[in-house]
Amino acid sequence: MIRLLLLSLLLFCTAAKAHQSSEAYLSYRVAGAEVEQRLDIALRDLDRDLALDADGDGALSWAEVRARWPDIERLAAEGLRFTADGATCTLRGRASPQLDEHSDGSYAVLISRWQCPAAVRELQIDYRLFAATDAGHRGLARIVGAAGEPLVLVPGTGVQRLSAASRGFAGFVVEGMAHIAGGLDHVLFLVTLLLVAVWRREGGGWAPRAGARSAFAETLRLVTAFTVAHSITLGLAASGLIAPPSRWVESLIALTVLLAALDNLRPFVPGPRWSMVAVFGLVHGVGFAGPLKDLGLRGQELVLPLLGFNLGVELGQLAVVALLLPVALALRGRAAYRRWIVQGGSSAIAALATLWLAERSLALNLLP
C-alpha cells in the first residue's frame, strides 16, 4: 500500500507539468438581425495544432502568426458554426488579424460580421474547436449586454443554445471542478497540506495526532482558511478590481507549493499552519480567476458564474480531501509513511515546485 501510494505520487509529480487550462472566449453583439462574432483563441493552443513557430525558437512573433492567419481562420471556421433561431446567417465581412492579451497569455482575435434573416432571439452554437486534440478544452460564450449567464461550450457535444435566458450555472460548477482537476499546482498545494494534517508540531518536527477527531479538526481549519482566502481574491480578480501580472501570480503560486513542501520536511513557518494557508490562499485565488476575468463580466452578470465556478472549485478540493485524508489517517503512525510518503513525497513536490518557479519567473522551458 505504501509503495503503491508513493509510486503514484512520484509519477504524478515528476511526469506532469502544471496544466494551463485551455479556454477560448466567444462573444456576440446582436443588433436586430445583425451579429458580430468575436472569438479569442490562445496562441499556445493554435501553435500546438498548427505549428505556428516557424523558426522553432520557442517564441511566437507577430510575423509568424500573421503568415498563418488563413490557417487560423480555417481552423476556427471548422470548429465553430452557429445559426440564429434555426436559420443560417450570411457572412458579411471579417476584421483584420489582431491579438489581445488575456490573463494567461496572448490570444488571436477573430472578428466576423453576419447578417441573419430576422431579428435574433437565440443563437444555436455547434462548437468543435480542438475536440480531437484537447479533451479538456472549453469555450466560454456570451451575448454582450444580455441578462443571461455565459455558457460553457464543451467541444463535440452537439448544438448548445445561447440567449438572454441562458442558464449556465451548472456549466460553471463543472468548469470550476475541471480547473482544480487540471491545475496540478493547486492540487499539489492541497496534497502537501493534507500529508501532515494528521500530525501535530512537536519540538522542531512532526508527531502523529492521537485521534482522528484532532486530524479532522485540523483539516477543517486548513480547508476553511484556504477557501475563505481564495474566494476573496477570486472575486476581486474576476471583477477586475485587482489585476496583478499573470507571471507574478503563477510564480508566487509555485513559491507557495515550494514553501509548504519545505515546511513538511522541517517546520519553519511560525504560528498556526492555517494562517500560512490563508495567506497563500490569497495568491491561489487570483490564479483561479483567469477564465472568469477574461469573459469581461461585470456587476450582476458576474454573480452566478462566480458562485458556480467557486462551488466547483470547492467540490474539487473536497474530492481531493476525501481521497487522501482516510489514507493519511490510516498510515499516520507508520515509519514508512513518515519516510516515504511525507518526506519522499514532499521532497518530490519541492523539486517540481522549484522547476515551476524557475520556469515562470525566468520565462524558461525546463519541463516537457
pLDDT tens digits, residue range 87-110? Answer: 999 999 999 999 998 878 899 999
Residue type for 240, please?
G
Please tell me whether the overall predicted TM-score, pTM, comes out greater than 0.75 for this model: no
Average pLDDT over residues 107-116: 97
In angstroms, the Cα distances linking 129 to 38, 68, 106, 113 are 14, 17, 18, 20
Average pLDDT over residues 292-312: 84
pLDDT of residue 10: 46
362 Cβ neighbours under 8 A, 6+ residues apart: none
Q: Is the dihedral of CA 128, 132, 135, 136 positive or negative?
A: negative
Cβ 275 vs Cβ 221: under 8 Å? no
Other CB atoms within 10 A of residue 148 CB: 16
The model's pLDDT over 233-251, given as tens digits with 9 standing for 90+, comes to 999 999 989 989 888 999 9
Beta bridge partners of 83: 124
pLDDT of residue 13: 44
Other CB atoms within 10 A of residue 66 CB: 13
CA nearest neighbour of 331 among 209, 236, 243: 209
Residue 169 in this model has a pLDDT that exceeds 90: no
| DSSP string for residues in 199-225 | EEEETTEEEE-SSHHHHHHHHHHHHHH
Q: In whole angstroms, give the CA distance from residue 131 to residue 336.
A: 43
Which letter does DSSP use for residue 156 in this model?
T
Residue type for 306, please?
L
Average pLDDT over residues 268-282: 95
Residue 260 in this model has a pLDDT that exceeds 70: yes
Cβ 171 vs Cβ 140: under 8 Å? no
Task: Out of 4-18, 204-218, 280-294, pick the least confident.
Answer: 4-18
The model's pLDDT over 26-46, given as tens digits with 9 standing for 90+, comes to 999 998 899 999 999 999 999
Average pLDDT over residues 125-141: 94
Question: What does residue 269 show for φ and ψ, rounded to 5 degrees?
Answer: -80, 120
Question: What does residue 316 show for φ and ψ, rounded to 5 degrees?
Answer: -65, -40
Q: In whole angstroms, give the CA distance from residue 121 to residue 94.
A: 23
Residue 296 in this model has a pLDDT that exceeds 80: no
| Residue 178 confidence class, pLDDT cut points 50, 70, 90 | confident
Q: In whole angstroms, give the CA distance from residue 152 to residue 140.
A: 5
CA nearest neighbour of 171 among 158, 153, 155: 153
CA nearest neighbour of 194 among 166, 226, 162, 169: 226
| Residue 300 confidence class, pLDDT cut points 50, 70, 90 | confident
CA nearest neighbour of 36 among 97, 147, 115: 115
| Residue 212 confidence class, pLDDT cut points 50, 70, 90 | very high
Domain boundaries, the chain: 2-18+183-362, 23-168
